[in-house]
Structure 1
Amino acid sequence: MERIKILVVDDESRMRKLVKDFLVRENYEVIEAGDGEEALDKFYEDKDIALIVLDVMMPKLNGWEVCREVRQTSKVPVIMLTAKGDESDELNGFELGADEYISKPFSPKILVARVTALLRRTNKIGQEADVREVGGIKMDKTAHTVTIEGKNIDLSFKEFELLEYFIDNQGVALSRERILNSVWSYDYFGDARTIDTHVKKLRSKMMDKGNYIKTVWGLGYKFEVE
């Protein structure tokens, strides 16, 4: 069985080696890049890259620019690494399509756990078929696809997980904090704007079915099929 390939991008060689060592221990194959331009070159050269671990502050092209370009052609999962603690940076990353956001310094074991969890959620690590249908929405959790009235809807991985969480909790008023902790799967220190940003984009892509996601003023949101 071929090993899953992960592209690790960081201008600090020691950081790349640290991340690589821990990923290799879990039987992942690691491809390294030391700047944004090299990262894009290697990404376009190898179509089997299953996930990108991407530092933000790098020479030539920074992580934001790399993520933006990757998202123009691919849904490959992206975990952003940064030394910055500004919430606006996290929001910027999510807006550009990043799936996870980890601030330095971090535990390599936690990074590997998030890599594995993200690969499992995005169907890079096998799992049994799981299909849900509600109100004209068909969600195939195994294939990671969503159709509405038979039309395929192009969702990012985090938008998919958000919709999945809403469907699994139909009729339940969900606070923003509960959504963050459940969908992002770890203690999140950002603010509610992250949820509002994702809900706005998800509603737009769902067309008239976006009305199923109702705002609960002063609390959060509730998914309710009309």
Structure 2
Amino acid sequence: MTDIPGRGLVLVVEDERPIADLVRLYLSREGFGVHVERDGAAGLAAARRLRPVACILDIALPGLDGTEICRRLRADGDWTPVIFLTARDDEVDRILGLELGGDDYVTKPFSPRELVTRVKALLRRASVTAEPDRVRSLGPLRLDPGRRSVTVDGAALTLTATEFDLLAHLLGRPGRVFTREELLAAVWGYASHAGTRTVDVHVAQVRAKLGPSAGLIRTVRGVGYTADA
């Protein structure tokens, strides 16, 4: 069943009915349309058919799990923002989900209000545009906030919304060292209780996509990260 979208349609793939119903309720209150599926194959089909503004994927699903749904969407070139729902002790699954292109995760049990806040923050980041003169360059790397595009030596890169915002934040002040807690607050919009491992995984993903230019994002041991030519 699909609710009539107001702020856009969010796809929720969650096999536990009480959780799915609670998420639907809170998202609907905020003006989002909500479509719920309860197994992985149906969730993937819905994501391809409905083109939601965001996907909330439980990792442990019947059939295809949430990480496989995300992997297949990214392989299709679909970079719709993805938030994973995970069990509190499934760190390996959370990291794998982020490595496959997920933007964020929430651990069970979770506050539905926090989940809605995460969705709204992620969509704000994905829709933000800036003035044309805010283009940022570092060596062969060029980032255009207005177009939300990144190129290296003229070749376009495909980044998730979160990867783009992380790179943009680092390039906003080249040479400035940001702690992981600062990056969590600035890019994800929440405090360090969420786990700084999230930052490490996303930095690794950005570096992998930068290829030979990965050294532009430098680790400052014991502190954090900086964009430094």
Contact (CA 8 Å) 1:176, 1:220: kept in 2 or not? yes
Residue 62 of structure 2: aligned partner: 59
TM-score of the pair, normalised by structure 1: 0.86
Corresponding residue number in structure 2 for 1:78: 82
Seen in structure 2, the aligned counterparts of structure 1 residues 116 and 154 have a Cα distance that, compared at 3 Å, is same
- 2: distance between equivalents of 1:191 and 1:30? 28
Q: Hey, what does 1:185 align to over in structure 2?
A: 189
State how far apart, in whole Å, the 1-side matches of 2:207 and 2:64 are. 32
Partner of 2:33: 29
Gaps of at least 5 residues in structure 1 are none
1:120 equivalent in alignment to 2:117 = no
More displaced, 57-66 or 98-107?
A: 57-66
After superposition, the Cα gap between the structure-2 partners of 1:53 and 1:192, relative to the gap in structure 1 and judged at 3 Å, is closer
1:134 matched to 2:137: yes
Alpha-carbon distance in structure 1 between the residues aligned to 2:121 and 2:32: 14
For the pair 1:98 / 2:91, whether they are aligned, the reply is no
- 1:15, distance to aligned residue in structure 2 (A): 1.4
Shift of 1:178: 3.1
Residues 154-196 of structure 1: per-residue CA shift (max 9 Å, x gap)? 1222221221121123211223343334333223446655444
Any gaps of 5 or more consecutive residues in structure 2?
none
Q: Distance in 2 between matches of 1:157 and 1:32?
A: 23
Maintained 8 Å contact 2:6/2:31: no
Q: Is the 8 A contact 2:129 2:145 kept in 1?
A: no
The alpha carbon displacement at 1:207 in A equals 3.9
Aligned residue number for residue 150 of structure 1: 154
Equivalent residue letter for 1:202: V
What is the total number of aligned residue pairs between the two structures?
222
Q: 1:200 aligned to 2:200?
A: no
Contact conserved, 1:87 with 1:190, CA < 8 A, in 2?
no
Partner SS for 2:174: coil
Structure 1 match to 2:164: 160
**Structure with the bigger percentage of helix:** 2
- Tell me the amino acid that sits aligned with residue 84 of structure 1: R
TM-score, normalising length: structure 2: 0.85
Q: Check whether the contact 1:6–1:49 (CA below 8 A) recurs between aligned residues.
A: yes
CA offset at residue 141 of structure 1? Answer: 2.5
State the 1:54 CA deviation: 0.8
